[in-house]
Structure 1
Amino acid sequence: MADPIELLIQGRAHDLGGGFAVRRVLPSVKRRMVGPFIFLDHFGPMDVPPGGGMEVRPHPHIGLATVTYLFDGGIFHRDSLGYAQAIRPGDVNWMTAGSGIVHSERTEPEMRATGFRMHGVQTWVALPKTHEEAAPAFEHVEAARLPAWTEDGVAQRLIVGTYAGHTAPTTHFSPIFYVGVEASVGAKLAISPEHAERAVYVADGSLTIGDRQLGVGDLAVLAPGQAAEALAGAEGAKAMLLGGATMDGPRHIWWNFVSSSKERIEKAKADWREQRIGKVPGDSEFIPLPDK
């Protein structure tokens, strides 16, 4: 039988500042995108002591949508449209940057005071050329509104898109699927071949696909059109299934900006340098444009 794994990518450590470390998986030198997914950061699982937490000051985005999903903990989002929204495990925050948006991501004071357990994934979805300059928007979808099902010891929640006969209500602009998975010890997960590009990311525990065991930080890009099965290891597994249609051409990525046009990214740099993209109401802080 042909190997169901086309490519294996391993996340690398990246410090967001303030001691808040993540595993950065996409983009990789091996692969820039899987479907429309162009960026994947995985944080935790970690026990954050009292006084600690996330402190990401206001910063800009263009040409993409951010998707935040948590297994544990919480993040408070504020943006230049005036939205202020806490996200909890199982919920989805989808922020369409489009022509430009600014947001911050911080730990709420109550959680910071007591300490908490944090575990989640943030991805960026590149927008198709027809929607790269869409009006910025923000959408919060509670866990109860997302399709969820359990089969053979595997609980799955469809975060965005269509998958295995289910459709999520979350906004999207091109064929996509994104599924949160929690599998019990020894459970078998069948992975549908319906989308052109697919990958499996292990966030906790381990999975075996074909003859390869995947651990935390491993992203397995699957061979197209081929059904695959993943077997959860002795500690079970938490994982993300993601992908969709092949993107309509390459994308450039620089800092927080994604675009099909290098010139558009240069404009975004100038706009942020001159503080023309927007401001988060009531927050005078911001992350300056990097030198490189």
Structure 2
Amino acid sequence: MSFFPGKDPLPGDAFACDAIENLIIPRTSDIGGFQVRRALPSRQRRLVGPFIFFDRMGPAILKPDEALDVKPHPHIGLSTVTYLFDGEIRHRDSLGTEKVIRPGDINLMTAGRGIVHSERTPDNLRGHPLLMSGLQTWLALPDDKEEIDPAFAHTEKSAMPLIETAGVRGRVVIGSFEGMTSPVGVFSDTLYVDLDLQPGAKFPFGAAHEERAVYVLSGEVVISGDRFAADQLLVFRPGDQITLEAGRDGCHLMLFGGAALNSKRYIWWNFVSSSKERIEQAKEEWRTGRFDIVPGDEEEFVPLPEG
């Protein structure tokens, strides 16, 4: 999904905590009845580990006459990660995949040399109010994986390791964390953890991963005495031991990061690559209809943006 037309986020507020390298306030846009907040890429930070794109969708209630309808569009050089808290989305792609994703599940679509997909509200949910909330992120692929064959994988919520400790509950969505490893397969060191902290609860965020960040989904998190509200992205300095502490109303966080890429990545529309020439090639292929079609969703598509 890449329907959000917003520009880069604006610089965030000042902060005192030395362990925080960047504080990013996402730029918000209204898309089809609900808000989308884009935290990455930004002016301050292009990537955190392999994460080159980070969108917070909703939360919002789609009215009976509204629906999510992201028409078929292409990707190269990345894996898309769709993770919902509320609602459902029907995914279709040019591999012939058709899958409805529900809260807590993961859709991991690896574009590699090229894939086309659409994301829409399932037919059985249209005509009714629908609560929608979730995240969509992109993982830039390592240099030697940028042109691999496209693939799709769906992982159920029940397969992800559960974090349960005093005042803390969550799941290891991707990667390894606190001795637990998710079954979701990715191509480089990647961390993606969904974490709920009860009021006043504390949780350590170790320095095992090269690059680390936290997105505050709701509530307030306290770090070294500084308080950070919902819809702020905090990127931490490498090597520091961090303690996450929930504010008086608790907090819901997404922890993410991983190993930095070995080379620069360019991003244009839905295309990510280490080569500007490869992006130009992909643009021409989409313009001239050389990408594959999406079975079951052949009538519409998103045209190549101008400029």
Q: Pick the TM interval, shorter chain.
A: over 0.9
Instruction: Confirm or deny that 1:212 pairs with 2:229.
Output: no
Q: Which residue matches 1:244?
A: 258
Query: SS of 1:113's equivalent?
Result: coil
What stretches of structure 2 of length at least 5 have no aligned partner? 1-15
Task: Find the aligned partners of 2:196 and 2:135 in 1 and give their Cα distance.
Answer: 14
Percent identity, aligned pairs only, is 52
Distance 1:191 1:152 in 2: 15
The alpha-carbon deviation at position 187 of structure 1 amounts to 1.6
State the 1:4 CA deviation.
2.0
Secondary structure of the structure 1 residue equivalent to 2:126? helix
Aligned residue type for 2:132: M
* 1:121 to 2:130 alignment: no
TM-score norm. by structure 2 comes to: 0.92
Cα distance in 1 between the residues matched to 2:265 and 2:125: 37
Residues 115/13 of structure 1: CA separation in 2 closer, same or farther (3 Å cut): same
1:5 maps to 2:9 = no
Distance, in Å, in 2 between the alignment partners of 1:269 and 1:60 is 9
2:54 matches 1:54: no
Q: CA deviation at 1:211?
A: 2.7
Does 2:300 match 1:288? no
After superposing the two structures, state which structure 1 stretch, 110-119 or 99-108, moved more. Answer: 110-119
SS at match of 2:278: helix
Q: Is the 8 A contact 1:174 1:245 kept in 2?
A: yes
TM-score by length of 1: 0.96
1:265 aligns with 2:279: yes
What pairs up with 1:1-292 in 2 under 5 angstroms?
A: 3-16=18-31, 18-283=32-297, 284-292=299-307
Contact 2:33 2:62 in 1 (8 A): no
Cα distance in 1 for residues equivalent to 2:48 and 2:167: 27
Q: By how many angstroms is 1:239 displaced?
A: 1.3
Amino acid at match of 1:3: D
SS at match of 1:275: coil
Question: Cα RMSD between the aligned structures?
Answer: 1.4
Corresponding residue SS for 2:285? helix
Q: Distance in 1 between matches of 2:19 and 2:84?
A: 28
Q: Structure 1 regions of 5+ residues with no counterpart?
A: none
Write the letter of the residue equivalent to 2:300.
Answer: E
> How many Å separate the matches in 2 of 1:176 and 1:35?
7
Is contact 2:73-2:301 (8 Å) kept? yes
Separation in 2, partners of 1:137, 1:30: 32
Secondary structure of 1:276's aligned partner: coil
Deviations 1:185-220 (Å, cap 9, x if unpaired)?
222121121001000001112211123222222110
Aligned letter for 2:85?
F
Cα deviation for residue 2 of structure 1 reads: 7.0
Specify the code of the residue in structure 2 equivalent to 1:166.
Answer: M
Q: 2:34–2:62: 8 Å Cα contact kept in structure 1?
A: no
